[in-house]
Structure 1
């Protein structure tokens, strides 16, 4: 298992230009925290717009919640990246991802 993780580190180190291994670990931590927090925040936002699990069909609720996770995740990714000292990496990652999704017009 350790050999697999070291292989993954080496592959990603070639793809993501980082100077130190701790930067790679910080990037993984940011991805983990951002995903968890975005998933948690989507529930209250869904209720805020009036979609409660008990009052609407399940497919509407879960579709809306998943759609809400996307913008929350994008904002939090850059914010947590900044907190962990990796703003430059996550800002370029964000721009590249939005361009690939056809949403490059959102980037100033």
Structure 2
């Protein structure tokens, strides 16, 4: 599995480890930040809470991953990754 990722992303084993750590920490930080924001907003209805949370996580995740990628030295990889993801989703052209 890791070999396929290394080949797909054209990275070495150390860089793959840094990328996976960035994904993990960025995702955790996104969840933490979204929860803090949701506690501040405090929507009362469950469907509003769920909708806002999904939108918030979708908006915050790319920013959080880019911020986390800087100390790991993976900013260039994630900038390219998020750009490709945005193009696939139709946000960027």
The two structures have a TM-score, normalised by structure 1, of 0.80
SS in 1 for 2:90: coil
CA distance in 1, matches of 2:39, 2:86: 27
Per the TM alignment, residue 83 of structure 1 is displaced from its structure 2 partner at its CA by 1.3
User: Are positions 1:15 and 2:8 aligned together?
Assistant: yes
Give the Cα–Cα distance (whole angstroms) in 2 for the partners of residues 17 and 77 of structure 1: 20
Distance 1:45 1:17 in 2: 37
The normalised TM-score by structure 2 is 0.91
Any stretches of 5+ residues in structure 2 without a counterpart? none
- Kindly name which structure, 1 or 2, has the bigger radius of gyration based on alpha carbons: 1
Off by >2 Å, runs of 4+ in structure 1: none
Hey, which of these two has a bigger chunk of helix by percent? 2
* 5+ long unaligned stretches in structure 1: 1-7
Following the alignment from structure 1 to structure 2, what is the Cα–Cα distance between the partners of residues 99 and 45? 28
Higher relative contact order (CA 8 A, sep 6+): 2
Choose which of 29, 34, 44 in structure 2 pairs with 1:56.
44
Matched residue count: 93
**Bigger shift: 92-101 or 36-45?**
36-45
